[in-house]
Structure 1
Amino acid sequence: MGVITGSREIGGVLRYDVFHDNRMHGYFGSQIEVVLPDSKEQMISAVVLRAGLTSELIRDKNTGYLHARNVGRIDYEPYQFRPVLKIVQADRPRILIADDVGVGKTIEACLILKELQARHRVRSVLIICPKPLVVDEKWRNELKRFDEDFVHLDGSDLRFCIEEALREGEWPARFAKAIVPYSLLDERLLVGNDANGRLRQAGLVDLTPGPRFDLVIVDEAHHVRNRATFAYQNVKRLTGSAEAVVLLSATPLQTQSRDLFTLVNLLRDDLVPTERDFAQMLEPNHYLYEAIEAARGGQDGWQDEAQRALDGALSTTWGRAVTAVDLGVELVRELLTEDPGDARARVRVVRTLEELNTFSSIVSRTRRRDIGTFTTRKPSAPVVSFTPEQEVVYNAVIDLGRRIVELQTPGMPVAFLLSMLRRQAASSISGLAPLVEQVLENRLDKVEFSEIGDDAPDDVPSSLSEFRAEIRAIGQLAEGLNGLPDPKVDVLRQLVTDKQAEENNKVLVFSTFRHTLRYLQEKASAWGVRVGVVHGAVPDEDRHSLRRRFKLPNSNPDAIDLMLCSEVGTEGLDYQFCNTLVNYDIPWNPMRIEQRIGRIDRRGQQSESVAIINILTEGTVEAEIYDRCLLRIGVFHRALGGSERILGDLTTELRRIADDLSLSDADREERLRQIADNEVARIQELERLEDQQGVLLGLTTESFESRVAEASSEWLSDEKIGDLVRAYLEAVLPGRRLALRPGKVAVVRLDEDAAARVSGDLHAAVGGDLRLERQLRRKPAVLRVTTDPELAADEPDVELLNATHPLVLLAAQHAALPGAPMASLRVRSDVVPPGRYPIAVHAWTRLDARDSLTLRYISTDPAVEAAADSLLALAVDGDGSMAPHELDVDALEQRHQREWKVAREQHVTRARAAGAQRVASLRAQRDRQLRAIQENADKVSEPKIVKMRQSELISARDRFDRLIAKHERAVSGADLITRHLVTVALEVEAP
């Protein structure tokens, strides 16, 4: 059984196009018969209809709608879907995300992973990142929020994977989702080694083509901007054969920099094989920007101005060769003939021109200042003085430092030790005694070291014999402060006490030092407030539990009022429900300050302003750095975003000044003032350059809400996905009604038979799921499910239902529409006039280099077609007064056939023209690149490099040949396939 989509006369006999079994067939009239719908068997309810449409979009891997909504236990912002849309709409899924720090690059990469998973394109994933992010499990913990479990690869694991891929032809399945640090991307990984006379160990050059991953994510990609490094060569190998690639970097983009070309070439050497191509790609963008500005302005004659600018873009070398065949050019020309006062047409012109920008599909950058200020920051800095007893201890630390300087004792560990003691004394001098004991006994772990500072040595200093006696004496002095007054802790106590009188009584306190946190916990416990502590040694589940309790209202007996944190301890945790942050000590790294503030100054902050309270001790270097430098560059007043490199340089300079005890007070003050002036000027210049580069790279500042809305479908909303799963579970548990609705966690208790059925269905639908099956084996089996990320954020045992969840995939299989059914529905709405309307729902799939399915509604009234989503979403079962057999189905089919025929001709013509041009371009680019690689190979004689070049030549040829074959298939197979899903008799009543 199939659907007739068209017909033509051949030799006086009609030949029909019939779609069934996922392809088009041709039959003469004598070979087919019309299937009359059985009104009983083919009738479905409103609930079944909605579940069926949701099922259709979830099961089809080429849907044109976003699936990555609510796929993680976090709050999303529309701008975070910008890279997702770019990568799924591109002809090749590869993108550079160059967002400011704090915007959420990691979240964006995870959204891409989940979106590609929903489209059945991703099984094997490799993440490359700096070693500290592996040690701290930063990526692994972030992925857990998306219900993804990755493994870290060490050197032996990586060698095993290479050998296995060489032997079996594919990467081993148990390491299909892996994280590897840059530190392992060395010469041995690239070319292998002789293993000291044993069997030779293989390298990446032995894998031709390279290892095939569905997705490779390269974090902090600026680490591979130097082509001469082994890191770059290895990343090139690992990404070369990957289907999708995501590069992440917070480094500001500069078109005149070779770094940007290197990264873009690494991504798309088929598109940008040489620096000459890179320069030519930039040429049309000046003109396109002028056209965009003309359309945005909408002044008299804007269409002529935009047309002239578009012609200028098409007159460039790249414009003639590449842009001219883009389907968007013809669309812009058509739109420029519309009524100049048509605001919708003008918006479409702007958007289409933005998409024509030559870098729009491969570069995405979101700056903090482009997405607006999250809230108003109100900084303050109460200053306290040391007590005489505290000053004695602090001066003893400074005197020790001066003696070390006089002795000119070299070595980073000693310098870091001194800096650490001084900063602990400024933070909480009472924390010095236990810190000294810990240092002398060599009990500082690496996580604690990373909390204390970015300049921490790789190893804890073990030989302190020269200074052991002085250090122990300082510890004994500090121990004598126990029980004595502490002005700094008194300020904190007053702040916390005052805050308890407010409805939002939450206070978040940061300190770099665990001993300070422990000291404050002891003090706060006596103040009558409920206190929690989070640092790098606190397990993940405890961190999430403490965050959940901190979020609870004051009236809840389990609530926490005061949270004491280190920077490392709060990574991945957001506190936008709190509006008061206290820096009990000030990091010398401005980026660490921004990371602290970013825990509460973020989207979703419930207060109009947040208080940033910095408690300073007079006479400390920390107080000087705050007054003379940090306050002036504005880090407490606003996010400095893309100035990461500048702030990194500033941090280095601040440490140099702070640790130079030979400077007089006046010299130190002058040096701090000078670097503040210099850095403010550099930050302002960087922001000016960023604005200029944004024009060339097509980095727009427009609101992204509308684009996300357009790419979203009513049938993939939280409510519809919840309804889909509820329908399945109620079928498994007949007679039960489940309370699975938005804003709630539904508790589903399964008896032994029901649990066995769900487990069996899981295996049949998705091949099983270990985590779910563990829960199903429990007695009794209980599933806790929700569609609300907020409710699942701190509850790892709650199943967050979304388009990639195994339960949703299983329910989608269960809810597939039977044949081409009919439904009789009614709805109350003022969107269209009351009346009786037929609606036919079709799935249209555009076959091209990137296939895409969308739902197409056909009705006798265009207004009903436009509103069909919302009408069907609200409809209920009809009362039987409007029977489906009364519909004029022929009229619907004729309208659908006309619409489909016109759309098909346009799509096929455009797709084949663009595809043929792309194939010709790829062939030319392949020949140029292969020639360049061969010429480089001919210039060297060193065996390892010759082998590397030969392997690179084979990999490049294979890569281009696969791309060319893909586009040739797209050219020959370009089509618009239509599939009839359901026919609805809809009665619209006035509200």
Structure 2
Amino acid sequence: MLASHKTKMGIDMNNLLHSFTIELRTLLSSWLPQLSADWWKRHVLDILTYQQQERVKQSRIDDLSGLDLAALLRVLDQNWYELSSQHNWPKEARNWLKEAQTIRNRWAHATAAETDPRDAYRDADTLERLARMLGVGDAAQNQIAAYKQQQLALLSPTVAPIPSLPPVASPPAPAAPTVAAVPQTTVIQDGFAPGQLVRLKSNHAKIFPILSVQPNSGGECRYSVFEDGKPTNYYASQLEANPMFVDERAALALSEFHARITALLLTAPSAANLYSLHSGRVRFVPYQYRPVLKLLRADRPRLLIADDVGVGKTIEAGLILKELQARSEIKSVLIICPKPLVAEGKWRSEMKRFGEEFTHLDGDTLRHCLHETDLDGEWPRQHSRTILPFSLFDDTLLNGKSHKRGKKTKGLLDLDPPPRFDLVIVDEAHHIRNANTWLHQGVKFFCDHAEAVIFLTATPIQMGNQDLFTLLNVLRPDLVIDKASFEFMAEPNPHIHAAANHLRSAAADSQQQAAVELKAAAGTFSFIETPDFQRVLDTLAEPDISPATRVALIREVERFSTFDSLINRTRRRDIGNFTTRKPETISVPFTDAQRDFHDHLIATAARIFAQNHGRQAVLFMLSTLRRQAASCLYALAPFIDQWLDGKLDDLGLAEINDDETDEMEVLPPGSLQAEIEQLRLSARILDPADPKLDAFRAIVRDKQALPNNKLLVFTSFRHTLFYLERNLLAAGVRVGVIHGGVADEDRRDIRQRFAQAEEQADTLDVLLSTEVGSEGLDFQFCDGMVNYDLPWNPMRIEQRIGRIDRYGQKSEVVVI
């Protein structure tokens, strides 16, 4: 019976979506121009996905008429804050929009054999709610309502099916709207008819429609109802008609109230108890439980941990995992991190301290997981706890690969249903700050379909910048909807500040005034109500509070700032028991020959800059030349050799470039060859006397005389590394080199040798490294570091220092 109607259902739903598309396009065409003069760029182009933007460019689309439903729904979603403020839409309507995006994706790829009346009814109900809220035309709303009734008829064997609805293009408003009605069967006396809403007598929260009346042979009548997405049977005595408005509240005896509170505590553990205490082989460090407590108090289990370098973010993530595991069933966990952390096995070994076993995904294993997910509809259980490196995120992973004869291997974005993880942890999350990368899109996809998400980054975060917006938009797209909502949330909430000021004043009515301000803050769009909020209001309602309670309340109120529930920020100064940093600067002047050469370099760069103003590739390389010269003049000639020969690979440029610029052109134009050749010749004949190298060797000699003779040396340039290595080896120093081009196995071997005791024959006493080369490596056993050059980005300097100045450092002082 159902199978004979499946083809018609698919056609009808697609017609409904087509009608909805036309209505939504009309509404957005009216609303968006009111937001800003450049609405097309700001509120449409800039917020589309990368694939949608490419389609707009290729098809030369310049208005909403060229956008499909997926793009229109994204435009509505990304402009939700401004539009919902204007039209006073309810908060729950955002969920309907999210469901509508899923509905569009499901029916866009559905075949006639895959459709089901239960899915159709549920999807049509969501569309009806969203359409009514948006205010689409009566004809479209009537068509959706009639379609819902049709699906009820298909689900009910006692009701004759209704013919398929005709396609609707751009319907004129009817004079008298009508809704297709389901033919009524004979209603049993004191009974219910198909389509009628009923509820359980034992649970008034259970409300559902009648599908059909079940045949009976003189016994009690039974009904088939649509409950939780599937038909279920109940006897007539179990059901009653659902009244429109009934006040179900009743007075409870004190004993019954206590019983209900006890049951609630048993079924939903509170934040008053921590189940992650002593859950792993880690020392008890109080500040590492801050993220756990903050996550438990949040309205959603999503948190950005932006602690300083070396505080112990990996341990904090492990504690969160164990806490969530104690409170609910965590079947699947995905950790996404840079490749060096996978190669070093850092996350795998850290999770073993908490009794958790994780697998590592390589390219073949990841493709197997995607294939199994496509076949079975869920991620393979043997990889339910797994670690995925950044390096595997590319076009093929996300969009699949086309083969000969028209076959295609599905990508991550093609999977329906998508893989859903109970917990996703993203380490070094600042790497996803560029929204136009495969990494950003892949991480966002996993996060969109995860229950809990944790971002870890030691990158200093400044309120209001683009990077923070990008991270929070992926982490909490329901709150940080677009740039406008982010900027609004970043602004101080005047009501919260006023409430804190009232409490500080300690005036007679300060508690009442503070409560008024807090209630006003709760009415603002960006305010997130937590259990602590109601507790503070209850405390303010008490007749008199002590000075200690007042101080505690001020602290609690100030924590209601918008981003406080989203971000955990533990600084070194908040802890107070870290080692002391002892910075020392060694000034080394140029020799006369070096100064002449450097002046020649600057003059040449100025001439080239004047001739090529605005050519970013040329300007980037000129800047890089100057930085290489500041690092080491004697490494400039081989650097120019690589540049002219086109052998500067992407990884080498990533180590140099502080801003992580993508895909820079590195070959100079032919007209600049003569200038660059002259620089190379001058570099080759430079006087070999190098006072900077002499000062560096003196530092190394002094360090070798100390009980802890380990020394970590950083530079941004590989040729500087090679220059220093040659000279240290010539001086008899046991030295190793790590950069982004070193194989994973060699990195592990070099790190182990650097960590060995001085007495062992193959020990390394000095390690030369770039930032990329040492990413994910911890050297708590080393208490001395040399910056042979300084990056322009202060974030990188802090990351360098964090390799040795971190939790577990034994020395009281680290020398930098």
Superposition RMSD on alpha carbons, in Å? 5.9
**1:896-941: per-residue Cα shift (whole Å, max 9, x none)?**
xxxxxxxxxxxxxxxxxxxxxxxxxxxxxxxxxxxxxxxxxxxxxx
Measure the CA separation in 2 of the matches of 1:478 and 1:275.
48
Corresponding residue of 1:65: 274
- Deviation of 1:382 after TM superposition, in Å, equals 0.9
Cα offsets for 1:540-576 (capped at 9, x unmatched): 5654555565556767776654332222222223445
Name 1:179's counterpart in structure 2: 388
1:365-406 Cα shifts (integer Å, max 9, x gaps): 345665568634434241221353x55655665566466557
| Deviation of 1:216 (Å) | 2.9
User: Is residue 307–residue 568 contact of structure 2 (8 Å, CA) maintained in 1?
Assistant: yes
Q: Distance in 2 between matches of 1:139 and 1:68?
A: 30
Matched residue SS, 2:350: coil
1:239 aligns with 2:443: no
In structure 2, the partner of 1:382 is 587
In the alignment, structure 1 residue 124 sits paired with structure 2 residue 332? yes
CA contact (8 A) 1:332 1:352 kept: no
1:349 deviates by 5.7
Q: What is the TM-score when the length of structure 1 is the normalising length?
A: 0.43
Q: Is 1:515 the counterpart of 2:723 in the alignment? A: no
Q: What SS does the aligned partner of 1:569 have? A: coil
Q: Within 2, Cα distance between the matches of 1:237 and 1:226?
A: 15
What residue is the counterpart of 2:420 in the other structure? 212
Q: Distance in 1 between matches of 2:497 and 2:404?
A: 59
| CA 1:71–1:412: 2 relative to 1, 3 Å | farther
Q: CA offset at residue 511 of structure 1?
A: 1.9
Q: Distance in 2 between matches of 1:229 and 1:531?
A: 37
Matched, 1:431 2:635: yes
Contact 2:713–2:766 (CA under 8 A) maintained in structure 1:
yes
Change (3 A) 1:159 1:603: closer
CA distance in 2, matches of 1:220, 1:241: 20
| CA pair 119-182 structure 1, distance change in 2 beyond 3 A | farther
Structure 2 counterpart of 1:494: 698
- 1:154-202 CA distances to partner (integer Å, 9 max, x unpaired)? 7x98887666534421134566535376996889958x99989835776
Q: In structure 2, do the counterparts of structure 1 residues 537 and 351 end up closer, same or farther at CA, with 3 Å as the change threshold?
A: same
What residue number does 2:82 align with? Answer: none
Partner of 1:84: 292
Change (3 A) 1:462 1:578: same
Q: Distance in 1 between matches of 2:648 and 2:606?
A: 24
* CA offset digits 1:653-696 (Å, max 9, x no partner): xxxxxxxxxxxxxxxxxxxxxxxxxxxxxxxxxxxxxxxxxxxx
Deviation of residue 610 (structure 1)? 4.5
Question: For the residues of structure 2 that align with 1:462 and 1:257, how far apart are their CA atoms?
Answer: 31
Contact 2:341/2:776 (CA < 8 Å) preserved in 1? no
The aligned amino acid for 2:696 is L
Aligned partners of 2:279 and 2:322 also within 8 Å: no
* Residue aligned with 1:596, SS: helix
1:222/1:552 CA distance change after superposition, 3 Å: closer
Larger mean Cα displacement after TM superposition, 523-532 or 333-342: 333-342
Q: Indicate whether 1:588 and 2:792 are aligned.
A: yes
1:707-765 CA distance string (max 9 Å, x none): xxxxxxxxxxxxxxxxxxxxxxxxxxxxxxxxxxxxxxxxxxxxxxxxxxxxxxxxxxx
| 1:523–1:348 Cα change, 3 Å | same
Residues 45-93 of structure 1 deviation map (CA, whole Å, 9 limit, x = unaligned): xxxxxxxxxxxxxxx99995353879699x9964443223333455642
Would you say the 8 A contact 1:314–1:320 is kept in 2? no
Separation of aligned partners in 1, 2:514 and 2:564:
18
Per the alignment, do residues 437 and 152 of structure 1 end up closer, same or farther by CA in structure 2, a change over 3 Å counting?
A: farther
The within-5 A match list for 1:74-473 is 78-88=286-296, 90=298, 92-99=300-307, 108-109=316-317, 112-113=320-321, 116=324, 121-126=329-334, 133=338, 142-146=346-350, 164-173=372-381, 176=384, 177=386, 179=388, 189=398, 198=406, 210-217=418-425, 238-247=446-455, 252=461, 254=463, 263=472, 267=476, 269=478, 305-306=510-511, 309-310=514-515, 312-314=517-519, 318=523, 326=531, 329=534, 333=538, 360-367=564-571, 370-371=574-575, 375-386=580-591, 388=593, 390=594, 394=598, 397=601, 401=605, 404-405=608-609, 408=612, 414-439=618-643, 442-454=646-658, 458=663, 461=666
SS in structure 2 of the partner of residue 313 of structure 1 = helix
1:400-444 Cα distance to aligned partner (Å, 9 max, x none) = 646655764996555554444443333233334444454455554
Deviation at 1:327, TM superposition (A): 7.4
**1:213 Cα deviation after fit:** 1.6
1:750-804 residue CA offsets vs partner (Å, 9 max, x unmatched): xxxxxxxxxxxxxxxxxxxxxxxxxxxxxxxxxxxxxxxxxxxxxxxxxxxxxxx
**Given residue 627 of structure 2, which amino acid in structure 1 is its aligned partner?**
R
| Offset, 1:242 | 1.7
In structure 2, what is the Cα distance between the partners aligned to 1:598 and 1:445? 27
Deviation of residue 115 (structure 1)? 5.2
The residue type equivalent to 1:171 in the other structure is W
State the alpha-carbon separation in 2 of the partners of residues 257 and 492 from structure 1: 39
Q: Residue 366 and residue 293 in structure 1: after superposition, are their counterparts in 2 closer, same or farther (change >3 A)?
A: farther
3-state SS of 2:712 partner: strand
In 2, are the aligned partners of 1:517 and 1:565 still within 8 Å (CA)?
yes
Q: Is the 8 A contact 1:525 1:531 kept in 2?
A: yes
Distance in 2 separating the partners of 1:257 and 1:441: 36
Distance in 2 separating the partners of 1:279 and 1:471: 46
Per the alignment, residue 772 of structure 2 pairs with 568
With normalisation by structure 2, the TM-score equals 0.51
Partner residue, 1:972: none
Per the alignment, in what secondary structure is the counterpart of residue 767 of structure 2?
strand
Query: How many Å separate the matches in 1 of 2:794 and 2:526?
Result: 46
Question: What corresponds to 1:862 in structure 2?
Answer: none
* Whole-angstrom CA distance in 1 between matches of 2:541 and 2:521: 21
Aligned position for 1:853: none
Paired letter, 1:87: L
Q: Closer, same or farther in 2 for the Cα pair 1:238/1:602, shift >3 Å?
A: closer
Query: 2:219 is matched with which residue?
Result: none
Question: What are the ranges of 5 or more consecutive residues in structure 2 without an aligned counterpart?
Answer: 1-261, 264-268, 352-356
Does the Cα contact within 8 Å between 1:573 and 1:599 map onto a contact in 2? yes
The answer as to 2:598 corresponding to 1:598 is no
Instruction: For 1:599, give the aligned amino acid.
Output: R
Distance between the aligned counterparts of 1:331 and 1:264, measured in 2?
A: 29
- Asked if the contact 1:283–1:316 (Cα under 8 Å) also holds between the matched residues in 2, the reply is no
- Alignment CA distance shift 1:370-1:480 (3 Å): same
Percent identity over the alignment? 42
Give the paired residue count: 541
What SS class does the counterpart of residue 384 from structure 1 fall into?
A: coil
Higher relative contact order (CA 8 A, sep 6+): 1
